[in-house]
């Protein structure tokens, strides 16, 4: 009985694995910081605190690979939280105003 791994040899298998890893690494993937990723993958029913204001994510709209808008409920009104990949701040739009918000000012629950 022959061993298929022995017949192929160890180095050809290593080369195939290296090619596979290289092609995976070079694919067109979105790479973001953990802080940015935390805000880009919110799901409906998530709860947030934005500058101390309680907010529930009700819906999510993705535009291309750069922009995510969350449709939110504050308990008294609606608002939108817009996250743009690579931007230093997010945009919180309520019925009262439009504000720039730092990621550190948004807590996710």
Domain boundaries, the chain: 34-108
Q: Which residues contact 74 (CB under 8 A, 6 or more apart)?
A: 53, 54, 55, 56, 94
Model confidence, pTM: 0.69
pLDDT in tens, the chain (109 residues): 455 545 567 888 888 899 888 777 776 555 677 778 889 889 999 999 999 999 999 999 999 878 999 999 999 999 999 999 888 899 999 988 999 999 889 999 9
Query: What are the structure tokens assigned to 21, written together?
Result: 């890893």
CB 103 within 8 A of CB 35: yes
Alpha helices in 27-71 (DSSP H): 34-40
């Amino acid at each position: 009985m022959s061993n298929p791994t022995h017949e192929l040899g160890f180095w050809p298998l290593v080369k195939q694995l290296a090619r596979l890893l290289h092609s995976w690494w070079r694919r067109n993937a979105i790479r973001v910081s953990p802080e940015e990723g935390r805000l880009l993958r919110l799901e409906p029913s998530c709860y947030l605190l934005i500058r101390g204001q309680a907010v529930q994510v009700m819906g999510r709209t993705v535009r291309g690979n750069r922009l995510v808008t969350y449709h939110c409920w504050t308990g008294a009104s609606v608002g939108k939280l817009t996250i743009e990949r690579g931007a230093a701040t997010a945009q919180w739009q309520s019925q009262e105003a439009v504000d720039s918000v730092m990621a550190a000012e948004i807590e996710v629950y």
